[in-house]
Amino acid sequence: MDNSRIRLATKIIHVVSLFGFSTNILAIFSIVKTPRLHSTFGLLCVILAANNSFVLAINSMYLMPVTGIFAMGTILSRIVGMVSKNVELKQDYCHCSPVGLASWVVGVRFHLLISLNRFVAIAFPLKSKRIITARSTSFAIGLMLFLSLAQCAPLLLLDDLWFCYDHKKMLWLYSPNESGRFYKTNINDQFISIEFGCLLLVDSITIAYLRFGRSNTLVGNLKKRAIEIRLFKQAFSQSVPLFVAFLLFAFVTPHLSNDFDKFLSETLMWHLAHGIDGLILDLFHTRLSLFKK
């Protein structure tokens, strides 16, 4: 990619990251200030928005000049896995630490937890309070965090395996060797495909319950039923940008030859999905009255 395209791509990422960071911080504020969202569902949404903010912030850090606190080998760069030198390819790379990649991976899994939360609330309205408890939700959150860190641990343990942001191509790349190809194909891509499949399945079953099982499953207070359905609409709406980004990543990007086109269909779309995630939360829950004393 030529220098003008690199500068343009860098500006785009910073703008998208700022947009996404703002929408997600606003979403956190709105949920915290809304008493009816002080629930396990609201907790999952807050953690997801916080994770989105962290991912977007750290991805902008990867594009910072390699000077000062971001200089190669500084404490900050080592904590976030930000800067390293790849001697073999003779160029600078931003290496994503297990924490950085795990934060992205766990975001997808939180979407799955949110969809499962809505499925139980809609399909089993009388039992949902016994199934969806603070304890069970905390356990699920801890499990997803542990699995995400475990999945990314090989990046820390294996010297010949890395995951980095190429400033020349503005794309995330794995190490061009057997370890990198195996990790990408059999661990990262395969797990992502399974998780997106599960997300689609859970949402589809929930829609089927709403369409065909309403009279049997959604009983009781009509107002509560309407709230549960509205929250499912929010969760499903949040899944759509992720599905679009995944489809582009899996089926469009591999057929593109131009680096800038790949940047638009992969890097930009994943970043934009995080921002739209927060925007959807804002559209469902942010009100002007929240800013009044």
Q: What CATH number did the domain enclosing 205 receive?
A: 1.20.1070.10
Strands 84-86 and 91-95: antiparallel
In the chain, at which residue ranges do the beta strands (DSSP E only) sit?
A: 84-86, 91-95, 163-166, 171-174
- For 268, half-sphere exposure in the C-beta direction (CA atoms, 13 angstrom radius) is 16
**Both structure tokens of 27:** 């979403």
**Cβ neighbours of 247 (radius 10 Å):** 14
Q: Are 124 and 98 a contacting pair, CB within 8 Å?
A: no
Amino acid code (one letter) for 130? R
Indicate left, alpha or beta for 241 from its phi (over 0: left) and psi (-120 to 50: alpha). alpha
What is the reported pTM? 0.86
pLDDT on residue 10: 85
- Cβ neighbours of residue 115 under 8 Å, at least 6 residues apart? 199, 202, 203, 206, 235, 236, 239
> Domain range spanning residue 228?
3-291
Torsion of CA 236, 240, 242, 248, to 10 degrees: 160
E strand or H helix at 41: helix 40-61
Task: Tell me how far apart the alpha carbons of residues 253 and 259 are, in angstroms, rounded to a whole number.
Answer: 10
Task: Tell me how far apart the alpha carbons of residues 121 and 128 are, in angstroms, rounded to a whole number.
Answer: 5
Strand partners, 171: 166
Q: Are 170 and 259 a contacting pair, CB within 8 Å?
A: yes
- Going residue by residue through the chain (293 aa), what tens digit of pLDDT does each one get? 788 888 898 889 889 999 999 999 999 999 999 998 999 999 999 999 999 998 888 777 665 544 444 444 444 444 454 444 343 443 444 555 567 778 889 999 999 999 999 999 998 888 888 999 999 999 999 999 999 989 988 887 787 787 777 777 888 888 888 998 999 999 999 999 999 999 999 999 999 988 876 544 444 577 777 888 999 999 999 999 999 999 999 899 999 999 999 999 998 999 999 999 999 999 999 988 877 75
Strand partners, 166: 171
pLDDT on residue 11: 87
**Both structure tokens of 188:** 């990262």
Q: Is 29 exposed, middle or buried (0-12, 13-18, 19+ CB in 10 A)?
A: middle
pLDDT on residue 91: 44
E strand or H helix at 200: helix 190-212
pLDDT on residue 293: 53
Q: Are 169 and 259 a contacting pair, CB within 8 Å?
A: yes
Strands 163-166 and 171-174: antiparallel
- The phi and psi torsions of 163 (rounded to 5 degrees) equal -135, 120
**Both structure tokens of 222:** 């009509």
pLDDT on residue 67: 45
State the residue for tokens 């408890």: 133
Instruction: Provide the number of structural domains found in the chain.
Output: 1
